[in-house]
Amino acid sequence: MRKFQTGNHAVAEAVRLCRTQMVAAYPITPQTPIYERLSEWEATGELGGVMMRTESEHSAMAACLAASLAGVRTFTATSSQGLALMHEMLHFASGCRAPVVMVNVNRTLAGPWAFWSDQTDSLAQRDTGWIQIYCENNQEALDSVIQAFRIAEKVLLPCMVVIEGHFISHFMEPVEVPEQGLVDRFLPPVDIPRRFDPDKPGYAVPTVTQKQFMEYRRLGQEAMEYALEVVEEVDREFVEVFGRGYGLIEAEGIDGADLVLVTTATVTSTARVALARLREKGYRIGLLKIRVFRPFPARVLRDVLDRVSRIAVIERNISLGREGIFCSELKAALINSPFPHQVQGYVAGIGGSNVDPELIERVVMDALERKEATDGPIWMAEGE
Amino acid sequence: MEAQEIMRPEEVMRSGHSACPGCGVAMGMRMVLRALGRPAVVVVVPSCSAVISGPFPYATLDVPMFHSAFEIAAPTAAGISRALEIQGRGDIPVLAFAGDGGTFDIGLQSLSGAADRNENFIYVCLDNEAYMNTGIQVSSATPRFAWTGTSPRGNTRRKKQIMEIMAAHRIPYAATASIGFPEDLAAKVQKAREIRGTRFIHLLSPCPTGWKTAEHLSPRVARAAVETNVFPLYEILDGIHYTLNYQSRGLPVETYLGLQGRFKHLGAEELRAIQHETDRAWEELRRRSEKQTC
């Protein structure tokens, strides 16, 4: 059924359709409508699962991962400071191999205070061992949540689906809400290890030796590498069932391009408009959207960008003292390529500031004219 | 309640734990688990109870157990409890062990949240009155004037009234208990097991290392705390119905304090202040429990 709805409500639809058994959450802008919609459905019996209204995001994640270890399908949603508060428990969820699914609605981190979209909150959780998927629009948000449960429960790693505050969370778009039967076909009833089986006493997360700890981390790394395959496999099956798919990355117009623009999330949609205009003017510009950030699809990116000499990365985040985080990651992925790439990073849309097609055109022009790339980022803002 | 069940002989905690000799926390855990019996699921957080539970692969508790982060014993137990309920196994008790630091201080917010929602678990605070697992640092459960590594001239604050805080949540069951009174402790654990909702047991667990007492004296020190009314044994039902469980001998506080090195610097004035506060609190408790019975 096609519904005109916000990204937050699309996420709630997905959580309901996935027959999520337990949701633990705490309100924070701009995530709150997810929490409210799920509460409404719990009250009317449409959710099917239970809501735990915790006193903090830290507790929400503690409860989700504990319930997940008991073998229950769990979900939470948060943003910004809430995600930062959860940070400690994110390590526990991945270390315990608890397949919790979370939606993070990107929002700036204080100080100073602001409420708009900025990817720094989720990217700051880069090293917590969570799978991270960045969505471009409301449909992808809904679909990615459904995929996330399949991926997480197969790999036994937690999965974070990231949507941008306001641009996705609060903007309304037509969204295809699948039939329950289709989702049931794609996502079977939960079947994950029960770590608290009273008949088989076991000890989760004991103190270990240095060597044992290293082995845990090695297994976590292997799981992440395996997750790359699983994300692709799950996406292929998703296409079979629902007729839509997203992949690890999405590439268009790469062959013979003079420049490839690398984007993430909602900036991608704007870039599609800008690049179409530029192509009409005769410019050969490719577009590459990175959807999955962890595990980082390094090999896939290297294959796609094989003979591309000029690359511009535009993104809504910054690691102070370095540059945009996707740019750094991409550079690291390309360093072992025999082909020389010139990668220039641009930060735009920081703090939720607008990224319009004109800004993206300026980024492309700047990158085309540049003889060599600078190490730091180039700051771009609307109307400058 | 059947008397023989209180004295249940079957051990859930195995021997070979790595606590200090004479550890009150280890004794407390053993008594609680024996009274609770199997099946059960146990949550521990960073504390001496996590050390006692054993490093991998030497698990000492013969029940499924999860060692989670410091400040979240309550929501972790709640998450497991909800999951078991969803799976139709809600009759299996979920028990959280946390120390005084994890309960009175860093874990208070999450404990309060869980108690407010009346989450279904038994929470046992193993109170040894300081951060003993990290050495001996002051917590808000440390008694006034007590020496610790971070209160070298004696603690200036009074012990936080955790029972009153928990009672204010109107949880169905809260009780104090002592390793010096094993039958009372067992009866309370078994009573708590039969109740649904948030159940809180404040268990005084002497620490020979931190209290500077002889290793063999832990039960005697714990008894002295009760006999001097420093740590009375009582229950609070639904946050309002107080019941005194033991009429103490009302010995002077020196009987208890004198057994411990952490109070050895106390002068007559401090002893008088402790005696005065102990008498006042005991009268208040007696008044509350009498009011409930008449």
CB contact under 8 A, B86 and A195: no
pLDDT grade for A198, boundaries at 50, 70 and 90: confident
pLDDT at B290: 83
Residue A265 backbone class (left: φ over 0; alpha: ψ -120 to 50; beta: rest): left
Residue A156, CA atoms < 13 Å, CB-side half-sphere: 15
CB contact under 8 A, A66 and B77: yes
Digit-coded pLDDT (tens) for A3-47:
999 999 999 999 999 999 999 999 999 999 999 999 999 999 999
Structure tokens at A270: 């704007």
pLDDT at B2: 56
Digit-coded pLDDT (tens) for B18-48:
899 999 999 999 999 999 999 999 999 999 9
Best of B36, B42, B66 to mutate (most A CBs within 10 Å, chain A): B66
Of A53, A58, A70, the CB nearest to B80: A70
Digit-coded pLDDT (tens) for B224-274:
999 999 999 999 999 999 999 999 999 999 999 999 999 999 999 999 999
pLDDT grade for B4, boundaries at 50, 70 and 90: low
pLDDT at A356: 97
Structure tokens at A372: 């060599």
CB contact under 8 A, A92 and B55: no
Question: Rounded to a whole number, what is the distance in Å from the CA of B11 to chain A's nearest CA?
Answer: 14
Digit-coded pLDDT (tens) for B118-146:
999 999 999 999 999 999 999 999 999 99
CA distance A290 to A311: 13
Digit-coded pLDDT (tens) for A215-238:
999 999 999 999 999 999 999 999
CB contact under 8 A, B53 and A195: no
Digit-coded pLDDT (tens) for A173-195:
999 999 999 999 999 999 999 99
Report ipTM (2 d.p.).
0.94
pLDDT grade for A326, boundaries at 50, 70 and 90: very high
Q: Does residue B46 belong to the interface with chain A, where contact is any CB pair within 8 Å?
A: no
pLDDT at A274: 98
Digit-coded pLDDT (tens) for B162-206:
999 999 999 999 999 999 999 999 999 999 999 999 999 999 999
CB contact under 8 A, A70 and B56: no
> Which residues 71-110 in chain A show a CB within 8 A of chain B?
71-72, 74, 88-89, 92
pLDDT at B56: 85
CB contact under 8 A, B69 and A88: yes
pLDDT at B294: 42
> SS3 for A77?
strand
A313 pLDDT more than 60:
yes
Nearest residue in A to B83, CA atom: A67
> Which residues 151-180 in chain A show a CB within 8 A of chain B?
none
Question: Rounded to a whole number, what is the distance in Å from the CA of B262 to chain A's nearest CA?
Answer: 30
Digit-coded pLDDT (tens) for A57-94:
999 999 999 999 999 999 999 999 999 999 999 999 99
Residues B58-83: what's their mean pLDDT?
96
Residue B193 backbone class (left: φ over 0; alpha: ψ -120 to 50; beta: rest): alpha
> Which residues 139-168 in chain B show a CB within 8 A of chain A?
none
Residues A339-368: what's their mean pLDDT?
97
Q: Encode B27-60: b = buried (16+ Cβ within 10 Å), e = exposed.
A: bbbbbbbbbbbebbbbbbbbbbbbbbbbeeeebb
Say how many CB pairs under 8 Å bridge A and B.
146
Structure tokens at B19: 């606590």
Give me the sign of the Cα torsion angle A57, A62, A67, A73: positive
CB contact under 8 A, B83 and A53: no
> Which residues 61-80 in chain B show a CB within 8 A of chain A?
61-69, 71-72, 74-80
Nearest residue in B to A55, CA atom: B113
Residues A337-349: what's their mean pLDDT?
96
pLDDT grade for B15, boundaries at 50, 70 and 90: confident
What is chain B written as a DSSP string?
Answer: --HHHHT----SBPS---PPTT-HHHHHHHHHHHHH-SS-EEEE-SSHHHHHH-STT---BSS-EEE--TT-HHHHHHHHHHHHHHTT-TTS-EEEEEEHIIIIITTHHHHHHHHHTT-SEEEEEEE-SSB-TTSSB--TTSPTT--BTTBTT---SPPP-HHHHHHTTT-SEEEEEETT-HHHHHHHHHHHHTS-SEEEEEEE---HHHHT--GGGHHHHHHHHHHTTSS--EEEETTTEEEE--------THHHHTT-GGGTT--HHHHHHHHHHHHHHHHHHHHHHHHHH-
CA distance B287 to B294: 11
- Give pTM, 2 decimals: 0.96
Q: Which helix (H) or strand (E) holds A123?
A: helix A120-123
Mean pLDDT of all residues in chain A? 97
Token pair 């200090």 is at which residue?
Answer: B20
pLDDT at B270: 97
CB contact under 8 A, A62 and B69: yes
B209 pLDDT more than 50:
yes
CB contact under 8 A, A22 and B116: no
Structure tokens at A30: 């701009």
Token pair 């030796």 is at which residue?
Answer: A209
